[in-house]
Amino acid sequence: MGIRRIAAVVIGAALLYWGYRQFGWPGVAAVAGGLVLWMLLHFTRLMTVMQRAARRPIGHVDSAVMLNSRLHAGLPLVGVIGLARALGELMSSEGEQPEVYRWTDPGGASVQARFADGKLKDWGFQRPEADAPTER
């Protein structure tokens, strides 16, 4: 469990305690309702991203150049899937860290990204090799 998850649980418990101390049980109910709303918003965003990605072939993106330009270190995997609007093609072994995914556009250009613990570490852009010039 990461430090952010532990911090979220501690902050949630502190908010519940604050609600009880300030307003009693109605305060706990109000804070609990706010926390549930926050969790539902995150769940809805995740489901929306996954529904869009499910409609497209795995590993395909409209423009690898545009995807490459919008990536930055630390972006979560769900964020990259949202930008690509498709699941990436898994290039590493199952369960291996770092995870490596690739997205390819119709022109053959591709973006290959490495994720460690669900966060984007680095990525590379590769253009298709140019065909050798033909002689006439």
pLDDT of residue 129: 81
- pTM to 2 decimals? 0.80
Quote the mean pLDDT of the chain: 92
Tally the C-alpha atoms within 13 A of residue 119's C-alpha that lie toward its C-beta. Answer: 5
* pLDDT value for 133: 55
Burial grade of 108 (CB within 10 A; 0-12, 13-18, 19 or more): exposed
pLDDT at 4: 86
pLDDT digits (tens, 9 = 90+) for 12-52: 999 999 999 999 999 999 999 999 999 999 999 999 999 99
Helix 25-54 with 77-84: angle, nearest 10 deg:
50
